[in-house]
Amino acid sequence: MGNSLGKLFTMTSFGESHGRCVGVVIDGCPAGLKVTEADIQAELDKRKPVAGTMATSRVEADKAEILSGIFEGYTTGAPICLLVWNKDTDSGVYEAMRFLPRPGHADYTAFMKYGGFNDYRGGGRFSGRITAGFVMAGAIAKKLLATINIQVLAHTVEIGGIKAIPISMAQIKKNISQNSLRCADVKAAAKMLQKIKEAGAVGDSVGGIVEGIALNVPVGLGEPVFDTLEGDLAKALLAIPAVKGVEFGAGFTAAAKMGSENNDAFTVKAGTVNTLTNNAGGMLGGISNGMPVVVRVAVKPTPSIAIEQQTIDLEKNCAAKLEIKGRHDTCIVPRVVPVVEAMMAVTLCDFVVRAGQIPGVIK
């Protein structure tokens, strides 16, 4: 259980890293939205491995296929099933680790929860690979949001302890496709890549922080007191493997500010209400206030490292040493960027549909 997200615009995820496929069923998408496989493919391509960030490479063509819900190029109102077939699955390396849970991975908890019946190959259901489904759902969600002018984007703001400097929205939009790390601070990006390479060279890994931004979000999205926009964004973003923290606007730094400093003063200009600052990250009382929705997620360093680690043998119930072979990213942060966009887009879609802001049929 737990593989569905959303209330009216929902996504149901299925598939495993080394099974037949990874897929998603999107339900609640209004009819009449123009969607092609190319639209989905374009998003999917964003989560391809980044040059220089991987020890060894799993090369998946990852071709998006539409199984249902789209007819003559438009959504029909019926559930949309999308999937990618798994092809380049070399599971041999995982056989040796079947009973040796990798520290920092879900191997141990999955084994315990499912009594050892879980598909352990490549992390199985807990692999980052399942985010291919998230991204495909996000592709649909982004197209739907675009009909009411909402735009979602994400960028890397920290890797391996190297922070990007604050940059204007215009610069962010311009710069994030300038480098493979999707970092708008081009100088920092170069240092980050260097850091990743150094870590990779010694068989270690690094983490980072991704910032997601939604623009043109209308005032009033979010349902108090539990189904807040913040709460549902956080829940969606924490479904991304390796994310261990979520903050909005000033986030944790707000804790050290004075109220007079943290409060965003209201202004009005030509009938439009804005705030002078955006420490609230675009949400007050869990409801969007018309300012950009800003969220940051903490991505832990990839747990799969080549360095020998201390673990246990689940069969023999004793201490063991583990050396992870096979393919793994030294840094997944840039690959998390499109997934953050996807999860934000999917969550926002659910709220705009709930709020009746999108008609049942797109014209």
- Rounded least distance, CB 170 to a second copy, Å: 26
Site for a second copy in 207-236 (CB under 8 A): 207-209, 219-220, 222-228, 230-232, 234-236
Binding of a second copy at residue 187 (CB under 8 A)? no
Closest CB to a second copy among residues 134, 152: 134
Closest distance between a second copy and the C-beta of residue 131, in Å? 9
Question: Please, which of residues 49-88 interact with a second copy by CB under 8 A?
Answer: 66-69, 71, 74-81, 83
Which pairs from 100-104 meet CB under 8 Å and 24+ separation? 100/311, 100/312, 100/313, 100/314, 100/320, 100/322, 101/311, 101/312, 101/314, 102/303, 102/304, 102/309, 102/311, 102/322, 102/324, 103/303, 103/309, 103/310, 103/311, 103/322, 104/300, 104/303
Binding region for a second copy (CB under 8 A) out of 43-51, 144-152, 177-185, 317-325: 317-325
Least separation in angstroms between CB 345 and a second copy? 15
What's the CA gap between 339 and 321, in Å, rounded?
A: 33
Q: Whose Cβ is closer to a second copy: residue 173's or residue 238's?
A: 238
Considering only residues 157 through 186, tell me which ones interact with a second copy, judged by CB under 8 A: 158, 160-161
Q: By CB under 8 A, tell whether 4 contacts a second copy.
A: yes
- Start-to-end Cα distance in the chain: 36
Among 146, 216, 262, 327, binds a second copy (CB under 8 A): 262
In this chain, which of 38, 165, 170, 268 binds a second copy, going by CB under 8 A?
A: 268
Write the burial class of residue 29 (CB in 10 Å: 0-12 exposed, 13-18 middle, 19+ buried).
buried
Q: How far apart are CA 310 and CA 295, in angstroms?
A: 35
- Which residue lies nearer to a second copy by CB, 170 or 226? 226
DSSP 256: G
91 binds a second copy (CB under 8 A): no
Reference 343, options 181, 214, 156, 184; nearest CA is 214
Q: Which helix (H) or strand (E) holds 342?
A: helix 333-354
What is the C-alpha separation between 153 and 202, in angstroms, rounded? 33
**Residue type at 263?**
N
Per rule CB under 8 A, is residue 47 in the interface with a second copy?
no
Least distance in angstroms from the C-beta of 53 to a second copy = 13
Rounded to a whole number of angstroms, the minimum distance from the CB of residue 221 to a second copy is: 9
Q: How does DSSP assign 126-158, residue by residue?
A: GSGGGHHHHHHHHHHHHHHHHTTT-EEEEEEEE
Q: Binding to a second copy by residue 93, rule CB under 8 A?
A: no
CB of 213: closest distance to a second copy in angstroms? 16
- Closest by CA position to 158, among listed 245, 241, 239: 245
Q: Which 114-153 residues touch a second copy, going by CB under 8 A? A: 114-115, 117-119, 124-126, 130
28 binds a second copy (CB under 8 A): yes
By beta-carbon proximity to a second copy, the closer residue of 146 and 298 is 298
